[in-house]
Chain A
Amino acid sequence: MTIAEIMPFSVLLPLIGAPVCAMLPGRRLPWLLCLIVVPGSLVIAGMTLDAALDAPLQYAFGNWPPPIGIAYRVDAANAFVAVLLAGIATALLPWARRSVNDDVPDRQGPFYALFLLALAGLMGITMTGDVFNVFVFLEISSLASYGLIAYGRDRRALLAAFRYLIMGTVGATFLLIGIGFLYIMTGTLNMVDLAERLPAVADTRTIDVALAFIIVGLALKLALVPLHLWLPAAYTYAPSFVSAFLAATATKVALYVMLRFIYTVFQPDLAFVILPLAPILLALALAAMLSGSWKALFQEDAKRVLAYSSIAQIGYMVLGVGLVTAAGLTASLLHMFNHGLIKAALFMGLGTVAYQAGSVRISRMRGLGREMPWTFTALALAGLSLVGLPPTAGFISKWYLINAALDAGQPWLVAAVLIASLMAVVYVGRVLEAAFMQPRPTDAKAVHEAPLALLLPLWLMVGANFYFGLDTRLTVGAAEAGARALMAGSGG
């Protein structure tokens, strides 16, 4: 079998695993199944990336050639995202065992089945070369995420999941409307075909509206300000494991799809011309960076702090897109990966705190730094990565982003990046200050350091933040190749 023939199994493994998992009894077996399926998916994704760095891979399902059947088309950009997805999921699983036991006390088969479905959906969105298929997988992953969020112990999780469901459905519907318009005008759903046929009909109002619907639909999934309102509650009340997984992956995939539509389907010389996308994306990115960071300053719940910080970080990524340069695109892809690492580490840290102390409200975390030094040191180090200090992955992102802004001749954007990072110092500092500097309230219940089963994966993730801050060959190399692949797609 060639690598192109193995490639679809990175999606199929979790997709097939999900119904099996749903039927498994108890708590250990579903988790063990995931532990086989998800790393398998990662291995395949890794092999795919390795091959895709040289040339794009093609796979036609059922041997139907692309215009008729569904085809996977994988170049460096989506292979990179796929590795991030499967990698984060794999790294989270060992940690998940304890944390999920805490959040989902009884049968866990359905929970892990939803997790596998969400992963399969996200992987599918990433791999596919068919726009309708994007919509289908988007719905699969979204529906699974609504279910996962609703598993949260807090009753407000239901409401959060419900709101996410409404907004997610609106987003998906918008995407579907846009895709429908494209299909009406061109008669094809294959991305490569669309790219060939769109220029001929580019001057119609329908195409303008299609692009607008697609961008808004994806911006909703991406939680780009001002369409972010569903995100804070969803991340806050979801089970710790789900928060970590979704924060590190879901929005990234939405951004990837947006890039794919802009660069491959519409192509920049069309997409940025028929609508003034660049200034709008820049404006929204700035709004996201500043308002997200600002709101994060005043949150009382540490998970909510991170949720708003995610909104700000999405702004960084969109900023790279709005620059419309190869350097900007590289920075965007790079930050997608690095932010996945950062947020996974931070949410894992908070999940560990929640597991031991029961609450991640900042006022309840006072003095916990002395009771749980390993957990909070890990949180502090991951915080450094979020702020963007060397030698962490976050620094690499910031470096490339500022570089890209200067490169594009828009140095004033740098000021916004700096202000947002300064605010990050403050909101990360607030959490750590409570944990390390303030005394433990005398009436607080005793809290002990977390078990090794939680600490070890957490520290591995923190270590990854530092590793990818020092050795940038994989990340920068893949991000540059991904940006090239997206740009090359634009050449036809």
Chain B
Amino acid sequence: MSEWLHPSWLLFAGALPLLLLGDRLRRAWQLLIPALALAAVLGLEPGTYGSVSFLGFDLTLMRIDPLSLVFAYVFATILVIGSIYALHVNDGVQHIAAFTYAGAAQGVILAGDLITLYVFWELMALTSVWLIWRRQTATAYAAGFRYILVHAAGGMVLLVGILAYYHATGSVAFGELATHGAGFYLILLGFLINAAAPPLHAWLPDAYPEATVTGIIFLSALTTKTAVYALMRGFPGTELLVWLGAFMTLYGVTFAALVNDIRRLLSYHIVSQVGYMVAGVGLGTSLALNGTAAHAFTHILYKALLLMGAGAVLHMAGRSKMSELGGLYRTMPWTLVLYMVGALSISAFPLFSGFVSKTMIVKAAAEDYRAVIWLMLTAAGVGTFLSVGLKLPYFTFFGRDSGLRPAEAPPNMLVAMAIAGALCLFIGVAPAPLYAILPYGADYNAYTFGHLLKEMQLLTFTGLGFYLLLNQLRAKAKISLDTDWVYRRLAPTLIARLSEPIATADRAARAACLAAPQHAMSLIRRGDRSGARLARSWPVGSMALWTAVVLAVLILSGLR
């Protein structure tokens, strides 16, 4: 039965009743549908299904192979976790957005051709933005609009790329792209915008921290990872991506260090972690691609866990700036413990999930004799541990006592975090099941003496450094609002670059719109006291003038 049941349809159909159901039923429904979707995904068998004809193309709605399955599994899992986490939220619009967004993401993963991919791609942008808007603050509205604009632009670039690719090759099937023409680069650009690759990343740290407490879980898991999947499918071994990815890892870490808002800090770490995956795609060896898939899998889980922890703090304490938090370990111990599981995972601590996946990519770089890349990826790991594993928990849960005494997070939040935490631990301790579902059957063992030694050295010395530099870091925390301000002013983000000229042009155009008629009016008044009559007849005159101009141009251009 599940052979033809597209998980997306299930999620789309399951989304609508959310608006009508009462609160209790809504909760049950919200657990039921993701569970059914997970079951549907687990029941998928490799093959291609669901052929439809559209615009004269034969589209493949479902192309299931090991690569798409890895992503489908983790997307379905995170929907279950995220839905549990959001169980207490009584906002139908948000849940509908989450369901359709997750359905669209599944659609992208399973799409067998570029047109299907594009349709779901646009749907993702359109549904995900509601997870930002439903925060219902002025900044969230504004950030949501910037988000939708960037994604609209990205979607259009992708569309043109697909058309150009079709013109070059005569095919819209989605596999490794066969040309190196305009289509290749436009599609790559479209994917990279969603992968948040600098300098096209600005939408992510701009919009995600403005999203709702629960919405950011889905956002962090789906958009960038569908882009990673698309890159893996279409662009394995593209040299550009190696350097871009390595650059991303450091870029994200660096900017994360300058940020005060804990959710924005974690957002920058999405950029950094996706950088590992992009680099893995670029390396293109089977070890690197396996590492990319594995890292996407683990990253979705631990990043969700981290953001759930930060969300719990925001939800309970009502604020998310490190300089305003501190000492929360007293009243939110479980949140702290679960957050630390995620933090150790992202830092690639042995026995935690990040360790078994990130080391694959780093090792692939080493096996490819890329010393610089290897060094960049390793250095980014240090920065990650420093800010996510040490700085953030220190200033949020320990450090200076802020006097805040929020209660522990509600049970559904803790349960969701516990599930994610358990998965992180399980994958870290027993990575074999994860390795078994990787697409390019490579033999890899994370727990070699060399890996352990390297990681432990790195982490220990990072910890030591943090301990020694704590005073300076604390001093920074006191002025971190200022750093925040500096970041906002200085961040060379695309959005800032785009929105500033648009605003200026807007102002200028408005001013011109106001000034021109006034100028004209004053001119007319000067010539004729009964100016109003002249002003009224002016448009007809100018229409006639334009008519004459166009006619003259046409006739003159015909002179031979």
Q: Do A and B come from one complex?
A: yes
Residues of A whose CB lies within 8 Å of any CB of B are 159, 163, 166-167, 170, 174, 208-209, 211-213, 215-216, 219-220, 226-227, 229-230, 274-276, 280, 294, 297-298, 384, 387, 389-391, 396, 398-399, 402-403, 406-407, 411, 414, 418, 421-422, 425-426, 429, 433, 437, 470, 472, 476
**Is B316 at the interface (CB under 8 A from chain A)?**
no
The answer on a CB contact under 8 Å between A274 and B558 is: yes
Chain A residues positioned under 8 Å from B351 (CB to CB): none
**Is B255 at the interface (CB under 8 A from chain A)?**
no
Candidates A297, A402, A422; contact of B159 at CB < 8 Å: A402
Within 8 A of A (CB), among B105-123: 118-119, 122-123
Candidates B55, B182, B539; contact of A163 at CB < 8 Å: B539
Candidates A166, A211, A274, A399; contact of B55 at CB < 8 Å: A399
CB of B9, distance to nearest CB on chain A (Å) = 14
CB of A318, distance to nearest CB on chain B (Å) = 13
**A298 to B549 CA separation, bound complex (whole angstroms):** 27
**A184 to B152 CA separation, bound complex (whole angstroms):** 53
Chain A residues positioned under 8 Å from B549 (CB to CB): 226
Can you give 30 A-B contacts (C-beta < 8 A)? A159-B536, A163-B539, A166-B540, A167-B547, A170-B544, A209-B555, A212-B551, A216-B550, A219-B550, A229-B542, A229-B543, A229-B546, A230-B543, A274-B558, A280-B553, A280-B554, A297-B506, A298-B509, A298-B510, A298-B513, A389-B155, A390-B118, A399-B55, A403-B163, A403-B166, A411-B182, A421-B152, A429-B145, A472-B55, A476-B56
The answer on a CB contact under 8 Å between B152 and A387 is: yes
Chain A residues positioned under 8 Å from B558 (CB to CB): 208-209, 211-212, 274-276
Chain B residues positioned under 8 Å from A391 (CB to CB): 119
Chain B residues positioned under 8 Å from A411 (CB to CB): 164, 182
Chain A residues positioned under 8 Å from B163 (CB to CB): 399, 402-403, 406
Chain B residues positioned under 8 Å from A406 (CB to CB): 163-164, 167
Known: A226-B550, A470-B54. 9 other contacts (CB 8 A): A208-B555, A211-B554, A212-B558, A229-B542, A294-B509, A298-B513, A399-B163, A411-B182, A425-B149
Within 8 A of A (CB), among B131-182: 133, 141, 145, 148-149, 152-153, 155-157, 159-160, 163-164, 166-167, 182
The answer on a CB contact under 8 Å between A163 and B156 is: no
The answer on a CB contact under 8 Å between A275 and B536 is: no
**A208 to B560 CA separation, bound complex (whole angstroms):** 10
CB of B125, distance to nearest CB on chain A (Å) = 9
Chain B residues positioned under 8 Å from A276 (CB to CB): 557-558
Q: Which 8 residue pairs of A and B lie closest in terms of their CB atoms, listed nearest first? A: A212-B554, A208-B558, A390-B119, A275-B558, A226-B546, A229-B543, A216-B551, A418-B156
Chain B residues positioned under 8 Å from A414 (CB to CB): 160
Chain B residues positioned under 8 Å from A166 (CB to CB): 540, 543-544
The answer on a CB contact under 8 Å between A396 and B557 is: no
CB of B192, distance to nearest CB on chain A (Å) = 17
CB 8 Å contact bits of B507-525 with A (1 = contact, 0 = none): 0011001000000000000
The answer on a CB contact under 8 Å between B122 and A425 is: no
* Chain B at the A interface: SS class: helix
**Is B244 at the interface (CB under 8 A from chain A)?**
no
Among residues of B, the one whose C-beta sits closest to the C-beta of A414 is B160
**Is B126 at the interface (CB under 8 A from chain A)?**
yes
Chain B residues positioned under 8 Å from A390 (CB to CB): 118-119, 122-123
The answer on a CB contact under 8 Å between B141 and A389 is: no
Candidates A167, A227, A425, A433; contact of B152 at CB < 8 Å: A425
CB of B117, distance to nearest CB on chain A (Å) = 11
CB of A146, distance to nearest CB on chain B (Å) = 14
* Chain A at the B interface: SS class: helix
Using A208-B558, A212-B558, A437-B133 as known contacts, say yes or no to A422 and B153 having CB atoms under 8 A apart. yes
Residues of B whose CB lies within 8 Å of any CB of A are 54-56, 118-119, 122-123, 126, 133, 141, 145, 148-149, 152-153, 155-157, 159-160, 163-164, 166-167, 182, 506, 509-510, 513, 536, 539-540, 542-544, 546-547, 549-551, 553-555, 557-558
CB of A71, distance to nearest CB on chain B (Å) = 30
Chain A residues positioned under 8 Å from B551 (CB to CB): 174, 212-213, 216
Chain A residues positioned under 8 Å from B557 (CB to CB): 275-276, 280
**A213 to B551 CA separation, bound complex (whole angstroms):** 7
The answer on a CB contact under 8 Å between A170 and B547 is: yes
**A226 to B550 CA separation, bound complex (whole angstroms):** 8
The answer on a CB contact under 8 Å between B540 and A227 is: no
CB of A466, distance to nearest CB on chain B (Å) = 13
> Which of B122, B152, B153, B539 has the most CB atoms of chain A within a 10 A radius of its CB?
B152
CB of A282, distance to nearest CB on chain B (Å) = 13
**A396 to B57 CA separation, bound complex (whole angstroms):** 13
Chain B residues positioned under 8 Å from A226 (CB to CB): 546, 549-550
The answer on a CB contact under 8 Å between A407 and B167 is: yes
**A301 to B288 CA separation, bound complex (whole angstroms):** 55
Among residues of B, the one whose C-beta sits closest to the C-beta of A480 is B56
**A79 to B37 CA separation, bound complex (whole angstroms):** 47
The answer on a CB contact under 8 Å between B156 and A422 is: yes
> Which of B126, B145, B148, B510 has the most CB atoms of chain A within a 10 A radius of its CB?
B145
The answer on a CB contact under 8 Å between A472 and B54 is: yes
The answer on a CB contact under 8 Å between B536 and A216 is: no
Chain A residues positioned under 8 Å from B506 (CB to CB): 297-298
Chain B residues positioned under 8 Å from A437 (CB to CB): 133, 141
**A226 to B554 CA separation, bound complex (whole angstroms):** 13
The answer on a CB contact under 8 Å between A421 and B118 is: no
**A74 to B42 CA separation, bound complex (whole angstroms):** 57
Chain B residues positioned under 8 Å from A209 (CB to CB): 555, 558
CB of B304, distance to nearest CB on chain A (Å) = 28
The answer on a CB contact under 8 Å between B550 and A229 is: no
Chain A residues positioned under 8 Å from B513 (CB to CB): 298
Chain B residues positioned under 8 Å from A418 (CB to CB): 153, 156-157, 160
Chain A residues positioned under 8 Å from B554 (CB to CB): 211-212, 215-216, 275, 280
**A317 to B142 CA separation, bound complex (whole angstroms):** 33
Among residues of B, the one whose C-beta sits closest to the C-beta of A165 is B540
Chain A residues positioned under 8 Å from B536 (CB to CB): 159
Among residues of A, the one whose C-beta sits closest to the C-beta of B164 is A406
CB of A30, distance to nearest CB on chain B (Å) = 33
The answer on a CB contact under 8 Å between B160 and A402 is: yes
CB of B367, distance to nearest CB on chain A (Å) = 40
The answer on a CB contact under 8 Å between B540 and A163 is: yes
CB of A10, distance to nearest CB on chain B (Å) = 30
The answer on a CB contact under 8 Å between A227 and B543 is: yes
Chain A residues positioned under 8 Å from B509 (CB to CB): 294, 298
Among residues of B, the one whose C-beta sits closest to the C-beta of A402 is B163
**A460 to B152 CA separation, bound complex (whole angstroms):** 27
Among residues of B, the one whose C-beta sits closest to the C-beta of A390 is B119
Chain A residues positioned under 8 Å from B119 (CB to CB): 390-391
Chain B residues positioned under 8 Å from A294 (CB to CB): 509
CB of B524, distance to nearest CB on chain A (Å) = 17
**A403 to B161 CA separation, bound complex (whole angstroms):** 11
Among residues of B, the one whose C-beta sits closest to the C-beta of A284 is B550
The answer on a CB contact under 8 Å between B539 and A229 is: yes
**A421 to B148 CA separation, bound complex (whole angstroms):** 13
**A429 to B125 CA separation, bound complex (whole angstroms):** 14
The answer on a CB contact under 8 Å between A227 and B149 is: no
Chain B residues positioned under 8 Å from A389 (CB to CB): 122, 126, 155
Candidates A227, A387, A398; contact of B547 at CB < 8 Å: A227
Chain A residues positioned under 8 Å from B54 (CB to CB): 470, 472
Chain A residues positioned under 8 Å from B153 (CB to CB): 418, 422
**A208 to B555 CA separation, bound complex (whole angstroms):** 7
**A387 to B166 CA separation, bound complex (whole angstroms):** 22
Among residues of B, the one whose C-beta sits closest to the C-beta of A163 is B540
CB of B186, distance to nearest CB on chain A (Å) = 10
The answer on a CB contact under 8 Å between B55 and A422 is: no
Chain B residues positioned under 8 Å from A229 (CB to CB): 539, 542-543, 546
**A167 to B553 CA separation, bound complex (whole angstroms):** 19
CB of B165, distance to nearest CB on chain A (Å) = 10
**A390 to B122 CA separation, bound complex (whole angstroms):** 8
**A284 to B551 CA separation, bound complex (whole angstroms):** 13
The answer on a CB contact under 8 Å between A426 and B149 is: yes
